[in-house]
Structure 1
C-alpha cells in the first residue's frame, strides 16, 4: 500500500496541492514559535521567560488553529475521493488497505511539507527574535537557535495531526459502498451527535473564557489578554464545527429572498446549497476562522492601546505578541480560505458540466457561483463576527466599562473587505477555470 500511495501521489500531483499547502503552513508556524524555546536555553532568565511565553501563548493558539484547519482540509479532500475508495473496494481492497493508502499518502505529503518548511521557519524565527529584541523584550545579543524542540514539535505534530486526520476521514470513506459513492453527490447527511456535542462544548468554553475576562480579572495584562484570545479562538472553532447547522439556518431565512432577488442564479444557488450543505459548510469553516480571529485579536489590542495611556514594557510585549499572532495566523487562515474554496470548486467540474449539458450557459453557471460565493462570504463573516464579540465585549467591559468599544469601525471594515474579496475572488476564479473545460470532457473526467 505504501508503494501504491507513492504512485497515487505521482499521478495526482495537482490534487494534493491543497493538502501540501495546509501542512506546509502548519509546520512553518509551529516551528517558528517552537524555535523560541530553543533560543531560550542560551539567554538570561528574564529573556528566557519572554521567549517561553511567546512560544507557549502564541504557539499554543497556533497549534489549536493549525490542527483544526489541517484536519478540516484533509477531511474535505478525502471525502471528495469517496468514489475512488469505493471502486478500490469493489476490486478486492479491504477497508484497512484503503485506510493505509490514504494514511500513506498523507504521511509522505506531511513529511515533505515539514522538511521544506524548515528553512523558512528558521528565517521567520530569526525575524521574530529581532522584533522582540528591538522592542526591548529580549536582551540584545541573543542568538536565534533552531534546534531539537523546533524540529520535534513542528515535524512531530504536523505528521501526527495529518495522519490522524487522514485515518479518521479514510475510515468513513472506506465503509462506503460503490452504489452509495455514486449517490454521494445528492446525499446530504445530518451532523453526527458527536460533532454537535463538540461544537457546543467549544462554544461554551469560549463563552466561559469571555465571562472570566469580564468578571475575574481586575485589570489588563498578558494573562487576561491570553484568556480573551482563547475566547475568540474557541468560539470561532465551535461555530466552524457547527457550520452545517448554521448553513441550514441561514438558508431557511434567506432562501426565498435570494431566489426572488437574484433570478436564475439565486434559484440554482438555493437548490445547490440545499443538496450540498456539507460542502457549503466546508467553505464556511475557513471564512469563520479568518474573520473571527482577525477581528477579535485586533480589537482586543485596540482596546488595550486606548486604555493604556502609558506604554509600559508589559503592554509593549502584549502588543508585539498580538500583532505577531494576527499576522501569522490570519495569513494562515487567509491561505486556508483560498485553499479550501479552490479545492471545493475545482471538484465540482463534473457538476458544472452536467448543468451546461442540461441547458445552462457559462454565464448562468458563473452567476450561480457568484451568488453562492456571496452567500458564503456573508454567512462566514456574520458568524466570525459573532465569535469575535465573545472576546471583544468582555474585554471592553473590563478595560473601559463600556459594552460597546469606541474603536474605529475601519478595522472591522478592512477585515470584512479582505474576507469578501478572498472568498469571491477564489470562488469565481476557480469556477472560471472549471468551465473552460468542454462540458462532455468535464462530465466524463
Structure 2
C-alpha cells in the first residue's frame, strides 16, 4: 500500500498540487491561531488586562472557527480533483480485485503522505504569521505589549493533527463514489458523468439551505449592542449557504447556464452555442468550476458589504446610543480585523479557484482531441473555451452575489433595521474583476496546453 501511495504521488505530482496547497494553508492557519492561543495563555492575567478589545484568545477563536470550515471546504474540493485525475487507475484497481476498503485506504494514505510533506513549510509559515499578527495586534493596543509567542511545539502538533483530521474527513467524502460502486461500473464511470443530481443530494442541499437561512435569521435578530455576533452569524450563514450551493450546484448551474447562455449564443453563434451546450450537458463539471468562484465572490462580498454597512451606519447615526453601538463595529481596529479575516478567506478561495479551473480544463484533453479529429481547429477550441470561461465566471459571480446579498441583508437588518445594506460599488466591482482575472486566464492558459498534443494518441488513451 505504501508503494502504491508514493508511486501515485511521484507519477502525478500536479494532481496533488492543489491538495498540497490547501493542506499547507490549513496547517499554517491552525499554527497561527494556536500560537496566538499559547501566547495569550503564557501572558500573566494582570498584563493581559492592559490590552483593549475582545482579547487575543477571542480573536484567535473567531478567526479559527471560520478558517477550519473554509479549509475543510477547500480540502474536500482539492482532494476530489486529485481523485478525478487518477479515477481510471482506481477503477482498474477495483477491476483486479481491490476491495472498497483497500481503495479508501489508498486514498487516506495519499492524504497522510501529502499532509506530512507540507507540514514543515506549513509550520514555518504559521509561526512567522503568528509573530507578525501578534505584533500588529500590539501596535493597535489589542494585545499586551509584553505578550510573546512561546517556543512550544504544541500549536504545530495540534495543526498537524487538525490537518490530518480534515484530510481524512475529506477523503471519506471524496472517495465515497469510487469505493461504493461495482468494479465494472467504476471503470465505466471514469469516462462518463452522472446525468442528474441525485435526490438525496438535493434533499441534503435543501436541509443545509434551511440551516443557512436560520443562521441569517439569527444574525438579523441580534440586538444593536451585539453587532459583532450578528456579523459572525452572517458570515457563518454565508458559508453554510455556499455549502448548499455546492450540494445543489449541478442543478443550479445548469439552470443559470441555460438563462445566461441565451445572449452568449446570440453574440457568438458558433463558439457560444458549443460552449453553452458543453456547460449545460456537463452540469457536474460546470458546478465544480463555478462553486469556488461563488465562494470567492460570496465571502469577499459579504465581508466588504458588512463592513461598509456598519461604517455607513456609524456616519449616519443621530442618537448617542446608536452611535456608540455602530462605532463599536466600525473602529479602525475592528475594520482592520475584518480585512485580515477577509485576506485569509481570499487566500483559501483563490487556491480553490485556481486548482479547480486548472484541473477541470486539463481533464478535458481527450474531449478536445476528439473534437480536433472531427474537424475542429485549435483557434476554434480556444474561442469555445473563452466563451465557456465568460459563462462560468458569470454563473459563479451570480451565485456568489446571491449569497453575499442574503448575508449582508441579514447583517444590515441587525445594524440599521433595514434589509437594504450599503453596497461599496467600487469594491464589489474589484471583487468581480478579481474573480474574472482568476477564472478566464486560468481556463485559457490551461486550455492552450490541453488542446495540444497528438489527437489520435490522446483519444486512444496512450497519453495523459
Report the TM-score range of the alignment, normalised by the length of the smaller protein: over 0.9
Q: Does 1:302 align with 2:318?
A: no
Q: Does 1:261 align with 2:277?
A: no
Q: 1:126 maps to what in 2?
A: 131
Q: 2:408 maps to what in 1?
A: 392
How far the C-alpha of 1:137 sits from its partner, in A, is: 0.7
How far the C-alpha of 1:10 sits from its partner, in A, is: 1.8
Q: 1:291 maps to what in 2?
A: 297
Within 5 Å, give how 1:34-433 maps onto structure 2: 34-43=34-43, 44-46=47-49, 47=51, 50-145=55-150, 147-174=152-179, 175-178=181-184, 181-182=187-188, 184-219=190-225, 221-309=227-315, 315-433=331-449
TM (norm. structure 1) is 0.93
Conserved 8 A contact 1:86-1:176: no
Q: 2:321 maps to what in 1?
A: none
In terms of mean alpha carbon deviation, does 121-130 or 15-24 score higher? Answer: 15-24
In terms of mean alpha carbon deviation, does 4-13 or 197-206 score higher? Answer: 197-206
Conserved 8 A contact 1:206-1:390: no
TM (norm. structure 2) is 0.89
Q: CA offsets, 1:102-128, max 9 Å, x none?
A: 221121001212332000110011111
Q: 1:8 maps to what in 2?
A: 8
Structure 1 pair 216–14 and aligned structure 2 pair: CA distance change class (3 A): closer
Structure 1 pair 375–332 and aligned structure 2 pair: CA distance change class (3 A): same
How far the C-alpha of 1:8 sits from its partner, in A, is: 1.9
CA–CA separation in structure 2 for the residues paired with 1:9 and 1:181 = 21
How far the C-alpha of 1:262 sits from its partner, in A, is: 1.8
In terms of mean alpha carbon deviation, does 127-136 or 243-252 score higher? Answer: 243-252
Q: CA offsets, 1:367-399, max 9 Å, x none?
A: 111111111111111010111112211222332
Task: Give the secondary-structure state (helix, strand or coil) at the position aligned to 1:117.
Answer: helix
Conserved 8 A contact 2:397-2:435: yes
Conserved 8 A contact 1:247-1:281: yes
Q: CA offsets, 1:196-237, max 9 Å, x none?
A: 233223322222222222223224532222222222222222
Q: Which runs of 5+ in 1 are unaligned?
A: none
Conserved 8 A contact 1:78-1:166: no
Conserved 8 A contact 1:82-1:176: no
Structure 1 pair 437–145 and aligned structure 2 pair: CA distance change class (3 A): farther
Q: 2:18 maps to what in 1?
A: 18
CA–CA separation in structure 2 for the residues paired with 1:313 and 1:285 = 30
Conserved 8 A contact 1:185-1:276: no
CA–CA separation in structure 2 for the residues paired with 1:357 and 1:178 = 28
How far the C-alpha of 1:432 sits from its partner, in A, is: 0.8
Conserved 8 A contact 2:307-2:330: no
How far the C-alpha of 1:42 sits from its partner, in A, is: 1.7
CA–CA separation in structure 2 for the residues paired with 1:399 and 1:8 = 52
Structure 1 pair 65–97 and aligned structure 2 pair: CA distance change class (3 A): same
How far the C-alpha of 1:77 sits from its partner, in A, is: 2.5
Q: CA offsets, 1:418-445, max 9 Å, x none?
A: 0111111111111012123232343331
CA–CA separation in structure 2 for the residues paired with 1:54 and 1:146 = 21
Structure 1 pair 56–28 and aligned structure 2 pair: CA distance change class (3 A): same
CA–CA separation in structure 1 for the residues paired with 2:258 and 2:151 = 52
Aligned pair count reads 445
In terms of mean alpha carbon deviation, does 225-234 or 282-291 score higher? Answer: 225-234
How far the C-alpha of 1:286 sits from its partner, in A, is: 0.6
Q: Which runs of 5+ in 2 are unaligned?
A: 316-323
Alignment RMSD:
2.3
Q: 1:437 maps to what in 2?
A: 453
CA–CA separation in structure 1 for the residues paired with 2:150 and 2:313 = 36
Conserved 8 A contact 1:353-1:442: yes
CA–CA separation in structure 1 for the residues paired with 2:226 and 2:307 = 11
Conserved 8 A contact 1:186-1:275: no
